[in-house]
């Protein structure tokens, strides 16, 4: 039996039995929501960048290096896409374009064997894309009951829910998606709510009308809209929101780093700190929310914002990093350190509380995939498929370099002792 909050127990004496009972039920409901939402162990990687979009598994193990013969299994998907993988209950989920027709596939694999459990196809028309983007660039989100995917062809933007046997439970079409570089946002699920950052282009629009951006929350079982909150539309932004303590933490060009109420969608606070497009996802470290912004031509900046402790406080910029800041890759935080890789191959370690540089080193290559931390090692992989393993420490130590033999645009995933890599047209399990 859970213990009631001290404030609830203390107030029991001055309330009627009926009123106190309502408080008890509300407390139990809130506790149940927290328990259902919390990831239980490292056996799952339930969406982009894993548990809590953090990309960090301190209890995991990663070898310094490996050869091609070390892969447990390899599957040829027949097409190259940059969407990452989700892992739930020993099953792997990813999006891939069909090699034979104009459809997008949600595929399910057995994590241990690589055997295809099932594949479901949905219409997917051609779309104007950035040269690093693909039509299947979104990452599924998962929980113990369902799998959620998002995809768009500009005229239609779908959010779909399937069960783990591949049966479609519901679908929503949110309409036109105005974008300069194509679609690429991933849903995230927390408790009974699925959240989608439906960001759209309002500047430099070449065809059609400027888009209207909004954060959308739907019921995970029915797809019914719970709330949708308009946010500032400038340039389309791609980050996956982070949900912490009943707040949806987001980042975009127009609003900067901001927070919405998970329950109502109300804008709780915002601090415009960015000058360019946000592609990476925000990360949370204690009371800091950290995001980055940039462009293919440079000018990248990473900003840490102290989140308000209460309604009367205001968010505050704590530090700003403009040298070797990432644009596309999402950074990671562990043990007081922030590890990043910028798009031009410079790896860095910063003190997460102050932004002070601990070390910076040129790794080489161009990066889109985000780093992940497994155990005491950081794995980064450039677009050419050259992987580098670094020590997760305040002193720089390169442990190994591995040529994977094919291009990599998707962020790796890890669960249950298995590392998944998307290399060229292949899905590989180490």
201, 208 Cβ separation under 8 angstroms: no
The 3-state DSSP class for residue 117 equals: strand
Residues sharing a CB contact under 8 Å with residue 10, sequence separation 6 or more, in sequence order: none
The 3-state DSSP class for residue 70 equals: helix
* pLDDT of residue 8 exceeding 80: no
Q: pLDDT tens across 240-290, in order? A: 999 999 999 999 999 999 999 999 999 999 999 999 989 999 999 999 999
Q: What is the pLDDT of residue 28?
A: 38
Which of the residue ranges 29-33, 95-99, 127-131, 300-304 has the most confident prediction, judged by mean pLDDT? 300-304
pTM: 0.88
Q: What is the pLDDT of residue 128?
A: 62
Question: Kind and range of the H or E element at 17?
Answer: helix 17-37
Q: pLDDT tens across 15-57, in order? A: 444 444 433 333 333 333 333 334 435 689 999 999 999 999 9
Q: What is the pLDDT of residue 234?
A: 85
Q: Give the Cβ contact number of residue 103 at 10 Å.
A: 14
Q: What is the pLDDT of residue 42?
A: 61
Q: What is the pLDDT of residue 133?
A: 57
Least confident stretch, 16-25, 104-113, 230-239, 331-340: 16-25
Of 250, 279, 280, 274, the C-alpha closest to 262 is: 250
Q: What is the pLDDT of residue 135?
A: 72
Sign of the CA dihedral with 226 first, then 231, 237, and 239 last: negative
Q: pLDDT tens across 349-388, in order? A: 999 999 999 999 999 999 999 999 999 999 999 999 999 9
* Cα pseudo-dihedral 261, 264, 269, 275, rounded to 10: 90
What is the pLDDT confidence band of residue 12, given thresholds at 50, 70 and 90?
Answer: very low
236, 214 Cβ separation under 8 angstroms: no
* pLDDT of residue 6 exceeding 60: no
Question: Locate tokens 């912490």: which residue?
Answer: 244
Q: Domain spans of the chain? A: 1-37, 38-429
- What does the block give as tokens for 65? 């290096």
Tell me what percent of the residues of the chain surpass a pLDDT of 70: 86
- What does the block give as tokens for 208? 């059609």
User: What average pLDDT score do residues 304-330 get?
Assistant: 96
The 3-state DSSP class for residue 282 equals: coil
* Beta bridge mates, 113: none
Q: Give the Cβ contact number of residue 31 at 10 Å.
A: 14
Mean per-residue pLDDT over the chain, rounded: 88
Distance of CA 40 to the CA centre of its chain: 18
The Cβ-side half-sphere exposure at 337, using a 13 Å CA radius, reads 22
Least confident stretch, 96-100, 128-132, 206-210, 425-429: 128-132
* pLDDT of residue 126 exceeding 80: no
Q: How far apart are CA 97 and CA 105, in angstroms?
A: 6
What is the pLDDT confidence band of residue 311, given thresholds at 50, 70 and 90?
Answer: confident
CATH superfamily of the 38-429 domain: YVTN repeat-like/Quinoprotein amine dehydrogenase (2.130.10.10)
Q: What is the pLDDT of residue 129?
A: 54
Q: Give the Cβ contact number of residue 223 at 10 Å.
A: 16
* Cα pseudo-dihedral 111, 189, 236, 130, rounded to 10: 10
């Amino acid at each position: 039996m859970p213990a009631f909050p001290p404030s609830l127990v203390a107030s029991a004496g001055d309330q009627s039995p009926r009123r106190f009972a309502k408080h008890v039920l509300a407390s139990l409901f809130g506790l149940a929501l927290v328990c259902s939402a919390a990831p239980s162990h490292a056996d799952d990687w339930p969406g982009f960048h894993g548990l809590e979009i953090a990309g960090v598994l301190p209890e995991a193990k990663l070898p310094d290096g490996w050869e091609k013969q070390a892969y447990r299994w390899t599957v040829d998907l027949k097409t190259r896409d940059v969407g990452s993988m989700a892992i739930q209950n020993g099953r792997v989920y990813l999006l891939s374009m069909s090699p034979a027709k104009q459809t997008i596939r949600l595929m399910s694999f057995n994590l241990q064997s690589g055997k295809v459990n099932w594949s479901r196809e949905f219409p997917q028309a051609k779309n104007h894309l950035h040269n690093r983007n693909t039509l299947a660039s979104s990452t599924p989100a998962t929980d113990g009951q369902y799998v959620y995917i998002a995809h768009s062809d500009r005229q239609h933007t779908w959010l779909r829910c399937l069960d783990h046997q591949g049966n479609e439970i519901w679908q929503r079409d949110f309409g036109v998606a105005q974008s300069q570089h194509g679609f690429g946002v991933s849903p995230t699920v927390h408790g009974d709510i699925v959240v989608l950052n439906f960001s759209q282009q309002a500047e430099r629009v070449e065809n059609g009308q400027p888009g209207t951006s909004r954060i959308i929350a739907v019921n995970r079982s029915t797809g019914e809209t719970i709330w949708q909150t308009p946010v500032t539309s400038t340039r389309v932004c791609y980050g996956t929101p982070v949900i912490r303590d009943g707040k949806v933490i987001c980042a975009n060009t127009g609003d900067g780093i901001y927070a919405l109420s998970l329950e109502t969608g109300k804008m709780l606070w915002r601090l415009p700190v960015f000058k360019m497009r946000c592609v990476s996802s925000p990360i949370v470290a204690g009371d800091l929310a950290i995001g980055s912004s940039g462009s293919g031509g440079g000018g990248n900046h990473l900003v840490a914002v102290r989140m308000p402790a209460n309604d009367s406080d205001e968010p505050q910029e704590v530090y700003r990093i403009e040298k070797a800041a990432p644009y596309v890759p999402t950074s990671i935080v562990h043990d007081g350190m922030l590890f990043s890789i910028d798009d031009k191959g410079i790896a860095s370690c910063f003190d997460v509380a102050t932004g002070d540089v601990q070390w910076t080193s040129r790794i080489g290559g161009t990066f889109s995939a985000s780093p992940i931390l497994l155990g005491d090692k950081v794995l980064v992989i450039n677009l050419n498929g050259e992987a580098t393993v670094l020590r997760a420490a305040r002193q720089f130590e390169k442990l190994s370099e591995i040529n994977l033999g094919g291009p990599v645009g998707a962020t790796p995933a890890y669960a249950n002792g298995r590392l998944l890599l998307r290399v060229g047209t292949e899905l590989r399990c180490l």
